[in-house]
A and B are shown apart, each in its own frame.
Chain A
Amino acid sequence: MERDERYIMRDPPERRIYPVTVPEHRGDFWRNRGISPATGVAVGVGVAALAALAGMAYIRNRPDTPRPPDDAEPRFREGGAWKGRFAVAGKSILIGKPRAEVYAYFRDLSNQPKFMENLRTVRAEGTRSHWTFAGAFGQEIEVEVELTDDRENERLAYASVPGSPIEMRGEVTFRDAPAGRGTYVEFDLVYVPPAGAAGRAVANLVRRSPQQQLRHGLKRLKMLMEAGEVATSANRKENA
């Protein structure tokens, strides 16, 4: 403990300005080269000042890096987003609810618009359902969908009926996560966007890849199931 007294401050230090001193031998360095120490120091300081000025000028004039918009697409592209004319996306998500509950929520197809992007409404009658998507320029796109597989608490698959303006297929599986963590939901989606390349251009224009749309969709599903609502930072309803 005694030895610590060398380090521990009995009292908080006084604020002080530290004087700058040039050590003796530096003077020798210049003198040995036939330059007076004062000149050496002056030249040195001059050079340092110029360098500092140049550096500061660079830092000041460097343009601000523009901030990306809040919903900017990540800079990396997720693989497998487009396969020929098909948009392909597959994602899994852990939802902290029992499998039966997650399955039931998903099976009620009228819930889909609450989490899937660009989907306005779904009306279901038996294994048939009628989906309304938001299209470009405020249009709506109507798609007839058939449930092609329905295994309770395990798997759901659906496909658009032939001749629909959007050709699409979806497959969802539900698995138990270990130790009561809930349910893994795995969602694979394949679709041909309306009007082929044009639709794709629109999709690219709004900078949402199929993979990103699906990822966002599943995260919203997770929020709805775990938190009961979809998070927003909007301070007023009109912005939400």
Chain B
Amino acid sequence: MRALTYHGKHDVRVDTVPDPEIVNPRDAIIRVTSTAICGSDLHLYDGVIPAVLRGDILGHEFMGEVVDVGSKSTLKKGQRVVVPFTISCGGCFHCKAQQYSACDNANPVEKQDMSEELYGQAMGGLFGYSHLTGGFPGGQAEYVRVPYSDIGPIVVPDHLEDDKVLFLSDILPTGWMAADNADIEDGDTVAVWGCGPVGLFAIQSALKMGAHRVIAIDHYPNRLALAKKLGAEILDYKQTDISEALREMTGGLGPDAVIDAVGMESHGFSPDTQTHLLNISDTVKQKIGIGADRGGALREAIFACRKGGRVSLPGVYGGFLDKFPLGAMMEKGLQIKTGQTHVQAYLKELLGLIETGDLDTEFMISHRLPLEQAPTGYKNFKDNQNDWTKVVLKPEV
């Protein structure tokens, strides 16, 4: 089959690789009809996530048709399914507590050592997202082997076309969980850093969950325009002192909840705020390979958050962050909630909201490309973020 594989930093290619087959009883094989490139994939593309090996198939946002099933799969051939990017067994402590991304039994035993050493506990399993999370071949391919297929994939009705439901695989539930983690209350102002796909869905979700106002921060005009269309008030961090603006807009209180939908590759070198200055040293360290994370947006979010407020962190971080404003966190009594999304926990509810038209899922798709052009998609989604807001790949085209 054809699949997008990793060859090194900023070098991904579509190669011919062996087709997957059923290996374990709970497996299913999916023929991919749509798959997307995610901001998380850019962290792999930029080489800032460890343990990505040459030849690894990337991609964790995908859907398609069931073409083969193992003896214990509950799926049937021919069904249309969206597959969560989190692989979860359904039976461990974490799965039973609906913390699906923390599943103990998805990451193969031999691969657990690395993250156990790095984080204290081994990570769960994710499709196409480095060997830290299992080294599972990803979804930017014609076919995918889906383990624990009786727990993850959700069957979608035929009248909802791919573009409407594809994002159930990751970014829609991720934006939803980001807002959920902000514990929104009546009258709340929620500030969201990053108007990429995750930030945009977080904005939409926060408004659905009753936020009084949502303030969105980025600098790409097109992305800010999308945020505004959703109903957010927008700030450009290149032209505005964000901390001051947020304080002034809330009568000095600060936003009740802040959401970092930027993650470990925060931009911003403008020496206008204390927090951005620190980002410069983070960048240098990331380039020479010590310390992994660039935390400009996160620092600014914590700095801006009101006392006793909530920090929701869907943005991905991988290693260590210096100059973490722990003092601000503690002295202001902030709460923080974060994590890879527990996709399976939200699928039913969100599919319902798509069906009733309560959630718009297509507005951010800027480009649809054949799988063969995936490398072009990566390049532009990275270098041309203003115009390339979300790329969907179609293996069949």
> Which residues of A are in contact with B by a Cβ distance under 8 Å?
3-4, 6-9, 11-15, 58-59, 62, 65, 67-68, 70-76, 94, 96, 181-182, 212, 216, 219-220, 222-223, 226-237, 240
* Cα–Cα, bound, A232→B287 (Å): 33
B20, A236: Cβ atoms under 8 Å? yes
A231 with B107: in contact, given A12-B234, A13-B224, A181-B93 (CB under 8 Å)? yes
Stretch of B109-117, B259-267, B296-304, B369-377 contacting A (4+ beta carbons < 8 Å) = B109-117
Instruction: Kindly report which residue of chain A lies nearest to residue B51, judged by CB atoms.
Output: A67
Chain B residue contacts of A13, Cβ below 8 A: 219, 221, 224, 236, 238-239
Which of B50, B136, B288 touches A233 (beta carbons < 8 Å)? B136
Interface size class of B (residues with CB under 8 A): 35 or more
B234, A8: Cβ atoms under 8 Å? yes
B40 at the A interface (CB under 8 A): no
Q: What's the count of A-B pairs with C-beta under 8 Å?
A: 147
A230, B224: Cβ atoms under 8 Å? no
B23 at the A interface (CB under 8 A): yes
Shortest beta-carbon distance, B212 to chain A, in Å?
Answer: 12
* Cα–Cα, bound, A182→B145 (Å): 30
Shortest beta-carbon distance, B98 to chain A, in Å?
Answer: 14
Which of B106, B135, B137, B225 touches A70 (beta carbons < 8 Å)? B135
> Which residues of B are in contact with A by a Cβ distance under 8 Å?
18, 20-21, 23-26, 50-53, 72, 89-93, 96, 104-114, 116-117, 125, 131, 134-137, 145, 147-148, 219, 221-222, 224-225, 228, 233-236, 238-240, 245, 248-249, 287-289, 386
Q: Among the interface residues B25, B90, B92, which one has the most CB atoms of the partner chain A within 10 A?
A: B92
Secondary structure of the A contact surface, majority rule: loop
B93, A235: Cβ atoms under 8 Å? no
B93, A96: Cβ atoms under 8 Å? yes
Given A59-B288, A237-B21, 17 more pairs with CB closer than 8 A: A7-B245, A8-B234, A9-B236, A67-B50, A71-B111, A74-B116, A212-B113, A219-B104, A223-B105, A227-B90, A228-B72, A231-B134, A231-B147, A232-B147, A233-B108, A235-B18, A240-B24
Chain A residue contacts of B113, Cβ below 8 A: 71-74, 212
B108, A12: Cβ atoms under 8 Å? no
* Cα–Cα, bound, A71→B91 (Å): 25
* Cα–Cα, bound, A11→B50 (Å): 40
A233, B104: Cβ atoms under 8 Å? no
B109, A235: Cβ atoms under 8 Å? no
Chain A residue contacts of B18, Cβ below 8 A: 235-236
